[in-house]
């Protein structure tokens, strides 16, 4: 699912399993804003039934089932189940936070490689620019001719070395 930060409107793609039904706190990776996010029903259309259902029958059946359930459960059992539910929710929250931390670590690794790719592309663009403007630069800076010649010879040697490796 795609979640939008309410502060800076940055959008993030998050796996549905990371957000429980009761919602959770999220932090924006861009502006560090923290907010509570709850999954909302996206499909609010009114469903139409092809046959009529008698609501009194349903209500009476539901009440009968609730009465039977209340008779069967004792107060001690109810508190035990509440405690177990709270423990399960806490475990789910811990799992969700650890998975979010793993995602953040993966993002840091991918940022490094993206910076590395940008650096390499910038160096290649600089070399192409120097090669293109070699003659005007040598006219303005006469001592630059030797440096440019050595640079291009070194690049040619590196190219031949890589071709020999392949």
Average pLDDT in the 87-107 region? 69
Q: Whole-number mean pLDDT of the chain?
A: 77
Q: How confident is the model at residue 32 (pLDDT cuts 50, 70, 90)?
A: confident
Q: Is residue 138 part of a domain?
A: yes
Gap between the Cα atoms of 115 and 122, Å rounded = 10
For residue 148, give every residue at least 6 positions away whose Cβ sits within 8 Å of its Cβ, in sequence order, or none.
130, 134, 137, 138
> In whole angstroms, how large is the CA radius of gyration of the chain?
32
10 and 35 in a single domain? The answer is yes
Q: Is residue 68 part of a domain?
A: no
Count of structural domains within the chain: 3
35 and 2 in a single domain? The answer is yes
Q: Is residue 59 part of a domain?
A: no
- In which domain, by residue range, is 142 found? 133-166
Q: Is residue 56 part of a domain?
A: no
Q: Is residue 118 part of a domain?
A: yes
* Model confidence at 153: pLDDT above 80: yes
Q: What is the pLDDT of residue 123?
A: 92
Q: What is the pLDDT of residue 11?
A: 87
117 and 159 in a single domain? The answer is no
* Model confidence at 42: pLDDT above 50: no
118 and 149 in a single domain? The answer is no
Q: Is residue 63 part of a domain?
A: no
84 and 126 in a single domain? The answer is yes
Q: Is residue 125 part of a domain?
A: yes
What percentage of the chain exceeds 70 in pLDDT?
63
Strand-pairing partners, residue 26, are 35
Average pLDDT in the 30-36 region? 86
4 and 27 in a single domain? The answer is yes
* Model confidence at 131: pLDDT above 90: no
Gap between the Cα atoms of 134 and 30, Å rounded = 42
Q: Is residue 66 part of a domain?
A: no
Structure tokens that stand for 89 in this block: 């929710």
120 and 141 in a single domain? The answer is no
Selected residue with higher pLDDT from 17 and 47? 17
DSSP sequence for the chain: -EEE-TTT--EEE--GGGS-TT-EEEE-TTT--EEEE----S--PPP--SS---HHHHHHHHHHHHHHHHHH--HHHHHHHHHHHHHHHHHHHHHHHHHHHHHHHHHHHHHHHHHHHHHHHHHHHHHHHHHHTHHHHHHH-TTHHHHHHHHHHHHHHHHHHHHHH-
pTM, full prediction: 0.34
């Amino acid at each position: 699912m795609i979640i939008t930060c309410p502060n800076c409107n940055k959008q993030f793609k998050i796996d549905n399993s990371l957000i429980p039904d009761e919602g959770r706190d999220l932090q924006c990776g861009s502006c560090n804003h923290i907010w509570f996010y709850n999954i909302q029903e996206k499909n609010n259309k009114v469903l139409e039934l092809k046959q009529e259902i008698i609501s009194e029958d349903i209500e009476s059946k539901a009440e009968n089932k609730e009465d039977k359930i209340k008779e069967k459960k004792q107060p001690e059992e109810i508190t035990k189940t509440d405690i177990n539910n709270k423990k399960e929710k806490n475990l789910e929250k811990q799992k969700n936070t650890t998975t979010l931390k793993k995602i953040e670590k993966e993002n840091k690794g991918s940022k490094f490689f993206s910076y590395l790719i940008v650096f390499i592309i910038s160096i290649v663009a600089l070399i192409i620019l120097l090669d293109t403007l070699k003659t005007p630069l040598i006219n303005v800076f006469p001592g630059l001719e030797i440096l440019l010649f050595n640079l291009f010879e070194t690049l040619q040697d590196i190219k031949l070395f890589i071709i020999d490796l392949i």
